[in-house]
Structure 1
Amino acid sequence: MLCPTDTNGNNCNPAKAPHIVSNSWGTGQGMTYFQPMLDAWNAARIIPVFSAGNSGSKGCSSVVSPGDSAKAFSVGATDTSDALGSFSSIGPAVNGLIKPDFIAPGVSIRSAWNGNNADYVSLSGTSMAAPHLAGTIALALSARPGFCFDTMKEILSGSTDRSLPRAAQTCGTMSDTVFPNNEYGYGRINAQNVVNAALAY
């Protein structure tokens, strides 16, 4: 990621490093194994986005690593009414951080499939939600290049929609009507608001 090569594994070129990496995977909780990777990405201004996980049925503190790190965005999934998907993992993280950071559409999303070159299916999961945040960040960086993780978090957290249905349960010490919280994070992403905030920053 930090220094992409050609197809033969040669000619490393850090100028071709991505600005964002969208990750639809996770494992365990509170795992520090991934922290050096996240630190390196952040130092290179590569913004890490991770799905929160699909263990919401287990209740509070079900968000998975590496998205439970302070240096990664964790994304929960909502349906068309902005309600949190029953499967969407919630916080707090085992390290005490409020997670997920944001929510995005992740229920019944029309998605490409590997059956053939023209195959589409309807999928649900936080793996459907994380790319929405990554795409929103890409729009912001296209409008105003150069933001690092911390600045992008500031812009995103001030640009969310927060008129949301009450969560099925609340976790930690704060209500789901106070933001950030352990169900909706800072709220549902709003791409137009984010781009406008990036341009005005």
Structure 2
Amino acid sequence: MHTTPIPDFDDALPVPCGKTIEPIEPDASPLARQRSCTVQDLLLAGCAALGVWTVWANGPIGLVVGNPLEQAQLIRQLFAYIFDTDLSSVKANILHCVIGAIIYPLGYWLLLSSGWYRPPFDGWLWGLTTFVFPMGAFALISERPFLLIDNSARLSLMILIGHVLYGLALSRIYHALRASRAITGVRDR
């Protein structure tokens, strides 16, 4: 029986063009691996939760309210009021995506992922937080009714439900990714 020798990973691995790749030592920097895994998990969970929110904003909100929610328009109005500038729809959508996929997950990680609250409660709490701060604070800043509850209570309720779904998705996916790393042996400690 012919067997191929297993390469010694203590040496550099040959690659095409005569270049070599130095092997990564598994225990070289546990802190760097922890940070990398945490950032990856937060980004994946944030993107997935933003997808849940987007489906909600374009589906059920449109059915209940009569038209899909246009987050970009809300952001444009806020910028026009506060900064007296006209923000394009593309920039407003990009800003909304950055907030939903990066900023909110980072806030979740900093405030709620310490273990004081467990899923699903932390997701509910984070969803409520992401509703109250932007819809409450920014509405007041732009001289609109708190949480936009005036003649559009159904819209505010649907936005609240969407934010709670976002928080639940973020929490569940983040914790599922953390648990899968523990099962496969990739530790974040």
Q: Please indicate the TM-score interval, normalised by the length of the shorter structure.
A: 0.3 to 0.5
Greater strand content: 1
Higher relative contact order (CA 8 A, sep 6+): 2
For normalisation by structure 2, the TM-score amounts to: 0.34
When Rg is computed on C-alpha atoms for both structures, the one with the higher figure is 2
Which of the two has greater helix per residue?
Answer: 2
